[in-house]
Amino acid sequence: MNTEQRLDARRHDEPLTMTNELSDGKPPALTQLAPDVWCLRDKIVNLFFVGSKEKWMLVDTGLYGSASTIKRTAEKLFGANTPQFIFLTHGHFDHVGAVKTLAEEWNVAVYAHERELPFLTGRESYPPPDPTVGGGMMAASSFLYPRSPIDLGERVKAVNGERVHGFDEWQILHTPGHTQGHVSLFRERDRFLIAGDAFVTTKQESLTAVFTQKVEFHGPPAYFTPDWISARTSVEKLARLKPDTIATGHGQPLRGAEMQQKLETLARDFDRIAVPAQGRYVPESLKREADKTSSPVPVKVLIGIAVIGLGALCFGGKSKSSSRKFKRRAPRLSHSRDIRTV
Ligand SMILES: [Zn+2]
Ligand SMILES: [Zn+2]
Protein backbone atom coordinates (compact mmCIF):
# COMPACT_ATOMS: atom_id res chain seq x y z
CA MET A 1 0.00 0.00 0.00
CA ASN A 2 1.46 3.34 -0.94
CA THR A 3 1.33 6.51 1.16
CA GLU A 4 -1.55 7.91 -0.81
CA GLN A 5 -3.72 4.86 -0.23
CA ARG A 6 -2.84 4.87 3.43
CA LEU A 7 -3.94 8.49 3.72
CA ASP A 8 -7.20 7.79 1.94
CA ALA A 9 -7.83 4.82 4.20
CA ARG A 10 -7.46 6.79 7.42
CA ARG A 11 -10.34 7.28 9.80
CA HIS A 12 -10.94 10.92 10.55
CA ASP A 13 -11.37 10.26 14.25
CA GLU A 14 -8.10 8.43 14.40
CA PRO A 15 -5.17 10.74 13.66
CA LEU A 16 -2.62 9.00 11.53
CA THR A 17 0.96 9.50 12.40
CA MET A 18 3.57 8.97 9.77
CA THR A 19 7.23 8.87 10.33
CA ASN A 20 10.37 8.22 8.37
CA GLU A 21 12.97 5.53 8.74
CA LEU A 22 15.31 7.85 10.55
CA SER A 23 13.09 8.89 13.41
CA ASP A 24 14.77 6.48 15.88
CA GLY A 25 12.16 7.09 18.53
CA LYS A 26 12.37 10.86 18.13
CA PRO A 27 9.22 12.74 17.15
CA PRO A 28 8.34 11.86 13.57
CA ALA A 29 9.35 14.23 10.82
CA LEU A 30 5.90 14.27 9.20
CA THR A 31 2.80 14.12 11.37
CA GLN A 32 -0.82 14.33 10.34
CA LEU A 33 -2.60 16.58 12.82
CA ALA A 34 -6.05 16.78 11.22
CA PRO A 35 -7.58 15.31 8.05
CA ASP A 36 -6.19 18.31 6.17
CA VAL A 37 -3.21 19.49 8.23
CA TRP A 38 0.28 18.00 8.32
CA CYS A 39 3.33 19.15 10.23
CA LEU A 40 6.81 18.61 8.82
CA ARG A 41 9.68 19.05 11.25
CA ASP A 42 12.76 20.45 9.52
CA LYS A 43 15.56 19.87 12.06
CA ILE A 44 14.80 22.74 14.43
CA VAL A 45 11.60 24.18 13.03
CA ASN A 46 8.11 23.11 11.92
CA LEU A 47 6.21 23.95 8.77
CA PHE A 48 2.67 22.98 7.76
CA PHE A 49 0.77 21.64 4.77
CA VAL A 50 -2.89 22.68 4.90
CA GLY A 51 -5.61 21.55 2.51
CA SER A 52 -6.36 18.73 0.10
CA LYS A 53 -5.31 17.55 -3.33
CA GLU A 54 -7.74 20.04 -4.86
CA LYS A 55 -6.39 23.05 -2.98
CA TRP A 56 -3.65 23.48 -0.43
CA MET A 57 -1.28 26.04 1.06
CA LEU A 58 2.15 25.81 2.64
CA VAL A 59 2.55 27.60 5.96
CA ASP A 60 6.21 28.57 6.49
CA THR A 61 9.14 27.04 4.64
CA GLY A 62 11.77 25.83 7.12
CA LEU A 63 15.51 26.28 6.91
CA TYR A 64 17.62 27.14 3.89
CA GLY A 65 18.17 24.00 1.83
CA SER A 66 14.87 22.33 2.67
CA ALA A 67 13.10 23.01 -0.64
CA SER A 68 13.61 19.54 -2.08
CA THR A 69 12.33 17.82 1.09
CA ILE A 70 9.28 20.08 1.12
CA LYS A 71 8.56 19.46 -2.54
CA ARG A 72 8.94 15.71 -2.15
CA THR A 73 6.59 15.71 0.83
CA ALA A 74 4.07 17.86 -1.03
CA GLU A 75 4.09 15.40 -3.93
CA LYS A 76 3.42 12.50 -1.55
CA LEU A 77 0.50 14.36 0.00
CA PHE A 78 -1.02 16.20 -2.95
CA GLY A 79 0.41 14.66 -6.11
CA ALA A 80 1.48 17.07 -8.82
CA ASN A 81 -0.76 19.92 -7.65
CA THR A 82 1.17 22.96 -6.56
CA PRO A 83 -0.11 25.09 -3.67
CA GLN A 84 -2.38 28.11 -4.03
CA PHE A 85 0.28 30.18 -2.27
CA ILE A 86 2.80 30.17 0.56
CA PHE A 87 1.71 31.77 3.82
CA LEU A 88 4.32 33.03 6.31
CA THR A 89 3.74 33.39 10.05
CA HIS A 90 6.80 35.68 10.05
CA GLY A 91 10.06 36.20 8.21
CA HIS A 92 12.77 34.80 10.49
CA PHE A 93 15.45 32.81 8.68
CA ASP A 94 14.20 29.47 10.01
CA HIS A 95 10.72 30.04 8.54
CA VAL A 96 11.68 31.49 5.14
CA GLY A 97 14.67 29.28 4.24
CA ALA A 98 13.08 27.72 1.17
CA VAL A 99 10.52 30.38 0.35
CA LYS A 100 12.32 31.94 -2.58
CA THR A 101 13.13 28.66 -4.29
CA LEU A 102 9.66 27.20 -3.76
CA ALA A 103 7.75 30.35 -4.75
CA GLU A 104 9.73 30.54 -7.98
CA GLU A 105 9.51 26.85 -8.83
CA TRP A 106 5.78 26.69 -8.07
CA ASN A 107 5.21 30.19 -9.45
CA VAL A 108 3.02 31.20 -6.51
CA ALA A 109 2.57 34.28 -4.35
CA VAL A 110 3.75 34.57 -0.76
CA TYR A 111 1.47 36.12 1.86
CA ALA A 112 2.55 37.76 5.11
CA HIS A 113 1.30 40.53 7.39
CA GLU A 114 1.98 44.02 6.02
CA ARG A 115 4.18 44.85 9.02
CA GLU A 116 6.41 41.92 8.11
CA LEU A 117 6.93 43.10 4.53
CA PRO A 118 10.00 45.30 5.23
CA PHE A 119 11.86 42.10 6.21
CA LEU A 120 10.69 40.24 3.12
CA THR A 121 11.38 42.94 0.54
CA GLY A 122 14.98 43.79 1.41
CA ARG A 123 14.17 47.01 3.25
CA GLU A 124 14.87 46.26 6.90
CA SER A 125 16.89 43.84 9.04
CA TYR A 126 15.43 42.32 12.18
CA PRO A 127 16.74 43.79 15.44
CA PRO A 128 19.95 42.14 16.67
CA PRO A 129 19.36 38.97 18.73
CA ASP A 130 20.13 38.86 22.44
CA PRO A 131 22.43 35.86 23.04
CA THR A 132 22.36 36.43 26.79
CA VAL A 133 18.76 35.37 27.32
CA GLY A 134 17.45 31.85 27.73
CA GLY A 135 20.64 30.26 29.04
CA GLY A 136 21.08 27.68 26.28
CA MET A 137 23.29 27.09 23.30
CA MET A 138 20.65 27.98 20.74
CA ALA A 139 20.43 31.35 22.45
CA ALA A 140 24.17 31.77 22.88
CA SER A 141 24.77 31.13 19.21
CA SER A 142 21.96 33.38 18.05
CA PHE A 143 24.44 36.06 17.04
CA LEU A 144 25.25 33.70 14.13
CA TYR A 145 21.70 33.53 12.85
CA PRO A 146 20.89 35.55 9.74
CA ARG A 147 18.71 38.59 10.41
CA SER A 148 19.12 40.45 7.13
CA PRO A 149 16.00 40.76 5.05
CA ILE A 150 15.28 38.54 2.11
CA ASP A 151 13.84 40.13 -1.00
CA LEU A 152 10.82 38.44 -2.51
CA GLY A 153 10.05 41.47 -4.63
CA GLU A 154 6.62 41.52 -6.23
CA ARG A 155 5.92 37.96 -5.21
CA VAL A 156 5.17 38.84 -1.60
CA LYS A 157 1.81 40.41 -0.77
CA ALA A 158 0.24 41.68 2.42
CA VAL A 159 -2.57 39.56 3.84
CA ASN A 160 -5.83 41.29 3.31
CA GLY A 161 -8.71 40.83 5.73
CA GLU A 162 -9.28 38.52 8.65
CA ARG A 163 -9.48 35.22 6.75
CA VAL A 164 -7.01 33.36 4.57
CA HIS A 165 -8.13 33.92 0.99
CA GLY A 166 -9.64 30.72 -0.39
CA PHE A 167 -9.29 28.98 2.97
CA ASP A 168 -12.02 30.93 4.71
CA GLU A 169 -12.22 28.69 7.75
CA TRP A 170 -8.80 29.94 8.77
CA GLN A 171 -8.80 33.17 10.73
CA ILE A 172 -5.67 35.37 10.62
CA LEU A 173 -4.66 36.71 14.02
CA HIS A 174 -2.06 39.42 14.30
CA THR A 175 0.18 38.24 17.16
CA PRO A 176 3.11 40.69 17.33
CA GLY A 177 5.94 40.71 19.85
CA HIS A 178 8.29 38.06 18.49
CA THR A 179 8.23 40.10 15.28
CA GLN A 180 6.07 43.11 14.51
CA GLY A 181 4.12 41.39 11.74
CA HIS A 182 3.84 37.94 13.29
CA VAL A 183 0.53 36.16 12.64
CA SER A 184 -1.14 32.98 13.83
CA LEU A 185 -3.92 30.97 12.17
CA PHE A 186 -7.00 29.64 13.94
CA ARG A 187 -9.85 27.43 12.75
CA GLU A 188 -12.96 27.55 14.92
CA ARG A 189 -14.48 24.29 13.64
CA ASP A 190 -11.92 22.05 15.35
CA ARG A 191 -10.24 24.78 17.42
CA PHE A 192 -6.99 24.24 15.58
CA LEU A 193 -4.26 26.82 16.19
CA ILE A 194 -1.10 27.30 14.14
CA ALA A 195 0.75 29.64 16.47
CA GLY A 196 4.05 30.17 14.65
CA ASP A 197 6.57 31.45 17.20
CA ALA A 198 4.06 33.43 19.31
CA PHE A 199 4.78 30.73 21.88
CA VAL A 200 6.51 27.36 21.52
CA THR A 201 6.28 23.90 23.11
CA THR A 202 9.95 23.25 23.74
CA LYS A 203 12.78 25.25 25.24
CA GLN A 204 14.06 26.59 21.94
CA GLU A 205 17.00 28.33 23.62
CA SER A 206 18.42 24.91 24.58
CA LEU A 207 20.19 22.75 21.98
CA THR A 208 19.43 19.63 24.04
CA ALA A 209 15.72 20.39 24.08
CA VAL A 210 15.79 21.12 20.36
CA PHE A 211 17.36 17.69 19.75
CA THR A 212 14.99 15.78 22.03
CA GLN A 213 11.91 17.96 21.39
CA LYS A 214 11.09 17.69 25.09
CA VAL A 215 7.67 19.21 25.74
CA GLU A 216 7.73 22.43 27.78
CA PHE A 217 5.65 25.56 27.43
CA HIS A 218 7.60 28.72 26.66
CA GLY A 219 7.01 32.13 25.23
CA PRO A 220 8.51 33.00 21.86
CA PRO A 221 12.19 32.09 21.35
CA ALA A 222 13.73 34.67 23.70
CA TYR A 223 16.90 35.58 21.79
CA PHE A 224 14.85 36.81 18.82
CA THR A 225 12.02 38.58 20.67
CA PRO A 226 12.35 42.36 20.92
CA ASP A 227 8.88 43.33 22.27
CA TRP A 228 7.85 41.42 25.38
CA ILE A 229 4.79 43.52 26.18
CA SER A 230 3.22 42.77 22.79
CA ALA A 231 4.36 39.13 23.04
CA ARG A 232 2.42 38.81 26.30
CA THR A 233 -0.74 40.34 24.81
CA SER A 234 -0.47 37.95 21.87
CA VAL A 235 -0.22 34.85 24.09
CA GLU A 236 -3.17 36.08 26.15
CA LYS A 237 -5.17 36.45 22.94
CA LEU A 238 -4.29 32.92 21.78
CA ALA A 239 -4.99 31.32 25.18
CA ARG A 240 -8.46 32.91 25.19
CA LEU A 241 -9.27 30.90 22.05
CA LYS A 242 -8.98 27.67 24.09
CA PRO A 243 -7.56 25.71 21.17
CA ASP A 244 -7.97 21.92 21.05
CA THR A 245 -4.81 21.40 19.01
CA ILE A 246 -1.77 23.64 18.93
CA ALA A 247 0.93 23.54 16.28
CA THR A 248 3.86 25.83 16.97
CA GLY A 249 6.93 26.78 14.98
CA HIS A 250 9.15 24.89 17.40
CA GLY A 251 8.36 21.86 19.56
CA GLN A 252 5.79 19.13 19.22
CA PRO A 253 2.15 19.70 18.28
CA LEU A 254 -0.12 19.04 21.26
CA ARG A 255 -3.75 18.60 22.17
CA GLY A 256 -5.87 17.95 25.22
CA ALA A 257 -7.10 19.52 28.42
CA GLU A 258 -3.70 19.60 30.10
CA MET A 259 -2.30 21.44 27.09
CA GLN A 260 -5.06 24.04 27.44
CA GLN A 261 -4.29 24.40 31.12
CA LYS A 262 -0.58 24.90 30.45
CA LEU A 263 -1.31 27.47 27.78
CA GLU A 264 -3.54 29.34 30.22
CA THR A 265 -0.77 29.21 32.84
CA LEU A 266 1.71 30.55 30.31
CA ALA A 267 -0.61 33.46 29.51
CA ARG A 268 -1.37 34.19 33.18
CA ASP A 269 2.25 33.94 34.37
CA PHE A 270 3.87 35.16 31.16
CA ASP A 271 6.21 37.61 32.89
CA ARG A 272 7.64 34.86 35.11
CA ILE A 273 7.63 31.94 32.65
CA ALA A 274 8.41 33.59 29.34
CA VAL A 275 10.14 36.92 29.90
CA PRO A 276 13.88 36.61 30.64
CA ALA A 277 14.97 38.01 34.01
CA GLN A 278 17.36 40.37 32.23
CA GLY A 279 18.17 41.23 28.66
CA ARG A 280 18.54 44.04 26.14
CA TYR A 281 14.86 43.98 25.19
CA VAL A 282 13.37 43.32 28.62
CA PRO A 283 11.59 46.46 29.86
CA GLU A 284 12.89 47.82 33.17
CA SER A 285 9.52 47.13 34.75
CA LEU A 286 9.82 43.40 34.03
CA LYS A 287 13.48 42.93 34.99
CA ARG A 288 14.09 40.84 38.09
CA GLU A 289 16.84 38.98 39.87
CA ALA A 290 17.97 36.05 37.72
CA ASP A 291 17.07 32.57 38.87
CA LYS A 292 20.37 31.21 40.22
CA THR A 293 19.45 27.60 39.44
CA SER A 294 19.22 28.32 35.72
CA SER A 295 22.19 30.63 35.62
CA PRO A 296 24.00 29.85 32.38
CA VAL A 297 27.60 29.00 31.69
CA PRO A 298 29.42 32.17 30.57
CA VAL A 299 28.31 33.13 27.11
CA LYS A 300 31.80 32.97 25.57
CA VAL A 301 32.10 29.32 26.58
CA LEU A 302 28.66 28.54 25.26
CA ILE A 303 29.40 30.20 21.97
CA GLY A 304 32.31 27.84 21.25
CA ILE A 305 30.25 24.76 22.04
CA ALA A 306 27.27 26.14 20.21
CA VAL A 307 29.16 26.56 16.95
CA ILE A 308 30.18 22.90 17.07
CA GLY A 309 26.71 21.76 18.09
CA LEU A 310 24.97 23.77 15.43
CA GLY A 311 27.35 22.47 12.80
CA ALA A 312 26.41 18.92 13.76
CA LEU A 313 22.72 19.82 13.80
CA CYS A 314 22.72 21.50 10.41
CA PHE A 315 25.04 19.27 8.47
CA GLY A 316 24.97 15.91 10.25
CA GLY A 317 23.15 12.96 8.74
CA LYS A 318 22.42 14.76 5.50
CA SER A 319 23.30 11.82 3.32
CA LYS A 320 20.85 9.56 5.12
CA SER A 321 17.91 11.87 4.57
CA SER A 322 17.93 11.21 0.85
CA SER A 323 16.67 7.68 1.53
CA ARG A 324 13.67 8.98 3.42
CA LYS A 325 10.52 6.94 3.07
CA PHE A 326 7.24 7.27 4.82
CA LYS A 327 5.88 4.54 6.97
CA ARG A 328 2.69 4.20 8.88
CA ARG A 329 3.09 4.03 12.60
CA ALA A 330 0.58 3.21 15.27
CA PRO A 331 -1.31 6.32 16.37
CA ARG A 332 0.61 8.00 19.18
CA LEU A 333 -2.38 9.37 20.97
CA SER A 334 -2.40 8.30 24.54
CA HIS A 335 -5.67 8.38 26.42
CA SER A 336 -3.93 7.85 29.71
CA ARG A 337 -2.48 11.34 29.57
CA ASP A 338 -4.34 14.50 28.87
CA ILE A 339 -1.44 16.34 27.31
CA ARG A 340 -0.59 14.42 24.24
CA THR A 341 1.48 14.80 21.19
CA VAL A 342 -0.16 14.24 17.87
ZN1 LIG B 1 10.90 33.40 14.89
ZN1 LIG C 1 11.32 30.16 14.66
Residue 75, domain CATH: 3.60.15.10
Domain total in the chain = 1
Residue 208 confidence (pLDDT): 86
**pLDDT tens digits for range 2-16:** 443 333 333 333 333
Q: How confident is the model at residue 309 (pLDDT cuts 50, 70, 90)?
A: low
Nearest to 37 by CA among 219, 216, 246, 213: 246
Q: Find the 273 Cα to ligand 1 centroid distance in Å.
A: 18
Residue 12 confidence (pLDDT): 34
Residue 290 confidence (pLDDT): 63
State what percent of residues in the chain have pLDDT above 90: 69
Q: Find the 240 Cα to ligand 1 centroid distance in Å.
A: 22
Q: Does any domain span residue 107? A: yes
Residue 321 confidence (pLDDT): 37
Q: Find the 224 Cα to ligand 1 centroid distance in Å.
A: 7
Q: Find the 9 Cα to ligand 2 centroid distance in Å.
A: 33
Residue 2 confidence (pLDDT): 40
Other C-beta atoms within 10 Å of 275: how many?
A: 24
CA 283 to chain centre: 26
Mean pLDDT of 237-262: 96
CA 94 to chain centre: 9
Q: Does any domain span residue 228? A: yes
**What mean pLDDT is reported for the chain?**
83
Residue 206 confidence (pLDDT): 87
74-83, 173-182, 202-211, 237-246, range with the lowest pLDDT: 202-211
Residue 214 confidence (pLDDT): 86
Q: How far apart are CA 222 and CA 218, in angstroms?
A: 9
Q: Find the 249 Cα to ligand 2 centroid distance in Å.
A: 6
Position 312 pLDDT exceeds 60: no
Ligand sitting nearest the alpha carbon of 97: 2
Residue 25 confidence (pLDDT): 45
Ligand sitting nearest the alpha carbon of 175: 1
Residue 197 β-bridge partners: none
Position 243 pLDDT exceeds 90: yes
Nearest to 185 by CA among 17, 29, 39, 16: 39
Ligand sitting nearest the alpha carbon of 225: 1
Q: Does any domain span residue 4? A: no
Q: How confident is the model at residue 252 (pLDDT cuts 50, 70, 90)?
A: very high
**pLDDT tens digits for range 124-134:** 999 999 999 97
Q: Find the 137 Cα to ligand 1 centroid distance in Å.
A: 16
Residue 32 β-bridge partners: 38
Q: Find the 247 Cα to ligand 2 centroid distance in Å.
A: 12
Please report the DSSP string for 43-74 in residue order.
TTEEEEEEE-SSSEEEE---STT-HHHHHHHH
Q: Does any domain span residue 341? A: no
Q: Find the 183 Cα to ligand 1 centroid distance in Å.
A: 11
Ligand sitting nearest the alpha carbon of 198: 1
Q: Does any domain span residue 334? A: no
Ligand sitting nearest the alpha carbon of 126: 1
Please report the DSSP string for 141-187 in residue order.
TGGGS--SPPB-GGGEEE--SSEETTEEEEEEEE--SSSTT-EEEEE
Q: Find the 54 Cα to ligand 1 centroid distance in Å.
A: 30
The dihedrals phi and psi of 184, each to the nearest 5 degrees, come to -120, 160
Q: Does any domain span residue 276? A: yes
Position 107 pLDDT exceeds 60: yes
Position 298 pLDDT exceeds 90: no
Residue 316 confidence (pLDDT): 41
Residue 323 confidence (pLDDT): 34
Mean pLDDT of 327-332: 34
Q: How far apart are CA 116 and CA 341, in angstroms?
A: 31
Q: Does any domain span residue 300? A: yes
Residue 172 confidence (pLDDT): 98
What domain range is 230 assigned to?
25-320
Who wins on pLDDT, 241 or 210? Answer: 241
Most confident of 25-29, 141-145, 187-191: 187-191
Q: Residues with Cβ within 5 Å of ion ligand 2?
A: 94, 197, 249
**pLDDT tens digits for range 177-224:** 999 999 999 999 999 999 999 999 998 888 888 888 889 999 999 999
Q: Does any domain span residue 298? A: yes
